[in-house]
């Protein structure tokens, strides 16, 4: 399969109204804002997009809106996350009907599978679709990791084209790259403070939540690296780092949403039980955004 996930791909937040319904006009605004500021793909209904909060009907509408508004300018990666294999396959069928370019599949939450079960999970899902699949490893959120050896085996399946690693463990990311370097397979960084490092090791890009708030700065890490401007890429990485570190102030993705609100994009709050940032936290975030030249 020739599809290569690359560049900076924001897992876009889902704008909400006060009643918790999706704010579709603001979603359109956000899609255009991100593309105009240089991102290389869009990833709706991922972790940052509060995927767990929506039924299949709303899920379909979000994907349709992002696909329509992107209008082929960048690839769209649909998040297809569920605890069961059949649940993921059901979501992938929606992705196929909408016409997204690829799907991202998270390890199941709550249950703690063996590596053999994980292999079978992803292999069964891959066999159910012709869409390119990005494995999504986020051990801090799911309490399960896809080992480098398992990723190397899964990389032999034709339509499993990449893995996103959100562990923050650079050794793990490096092993993904080392063990798949001879295969038709890509590795994407999922920790925004390590994008430059991952590119140096051979990653093809990053799924970066902070790119919602700082799309141009984040895209600069990749664009400047690819043009050979290593210093410019590293400088952009260092500019971005304080925003990612500030995300520890609230329950994810509250800081990302508040950052967009402070920039004038009215994306609303996260769904309860995620709380809004406290006033002093909003002030700290405002200081970070000011120093980054974003507000």
Please list the active-site residues: 136, 164
Q: Which DSSP state fits 277?
A: P
Torsions phi, psi of 230, nearest 5?
Answer: -65, -40
CA distance 60 to 94: 6
CA distance 205 to 219: 10
Bridging pattern class, strands 133-137 and 102-106: parallel
The CB density around residue 228, as the number of other CB atoms within 10 Å, is 8
Q: Which DSSP state fits 211?
A: G
Beta strands in the chain (DSSP E): 7-9, 77-79, 102-106, 133-137, 160-165, 186-189, 205-207
Tokens of 66: 């992002």
Tell me the three state secondary structure of residue 207: strand
**Residue 13, CA distances (Å) to 24, 41, 145, 231 in order:** 12, 14, 24, 30
Q: Which DSSP state fits 16?
A: B
Using CB atoms within 10 A of its CB, is residue 31 exposed (0-12), middle (13-18) or buried (19+)?
buried
Please name the residues in contact with 295: beta carbons below 8 A apart, sequence gap of 6 or more: 262, 263, 286, 289
CA distance 165 to 187: 8
Tokens of 25: 């006009």
């Amino acid at each position: 399969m020739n599809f290569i996930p690359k560049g900076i791909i924001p897992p876009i937040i889902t704008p909400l109204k006060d009643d918790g319904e999706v704010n579709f006009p603001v979603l359109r605004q956000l899609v255009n804002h991100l593309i105009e500021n240089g991102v290389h793909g869009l990833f709706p209904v991922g972790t940052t997009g509060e995927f767990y909060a929506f039924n299949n009907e709303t899920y379909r509408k979000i994907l349709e809106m992002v696909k329509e508004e992107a209008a082929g300018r960048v690839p769209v990666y649909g998040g297809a996350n569920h605890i069961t294999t059949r649940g993921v396959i059901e979501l992938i069928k929606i992705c196929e009907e909408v016409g997204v370019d690829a799907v991202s599949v998270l390890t199941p939450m709550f249950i703690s599978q063996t590596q053999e079960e994980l292999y079978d999970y992803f292999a069964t899902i891959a066999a159910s679709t012709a869409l390119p699949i990005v494995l999504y490893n986020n051990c801090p959120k799911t309490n399960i990791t896809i080992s480098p050896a398992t990723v190397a085996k899964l990389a032999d399946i034709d339509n499993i084209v990449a893995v996103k690693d959100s562990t923050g463990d650079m050794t793990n990311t490096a092993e993904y790259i080392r063990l798949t370097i001879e295969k038709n397979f890509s590795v994407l960084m999922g920790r925004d403070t390590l994008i430059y490092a991952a590119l140096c090791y051979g990653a093809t890009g990053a799924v970066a939540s902070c790119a919602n708030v700082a799309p141009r700065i984040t895209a600069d890490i990749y664009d400047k690296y690819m043009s050979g401007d290593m210093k410019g890429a590293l400088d952009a990485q260092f500019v971005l780092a304080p925003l990612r570190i500030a995300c520890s102030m609230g329950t994810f993705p509250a800081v990302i949403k508040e950052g967009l609100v402070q920039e004038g994009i009215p994306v609303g709050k996260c769904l309860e039980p995620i709380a809004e940032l406290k006033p002093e936290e909003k002030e700290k975030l405002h200081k970070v955004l000011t120093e980054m030249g974003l507000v």
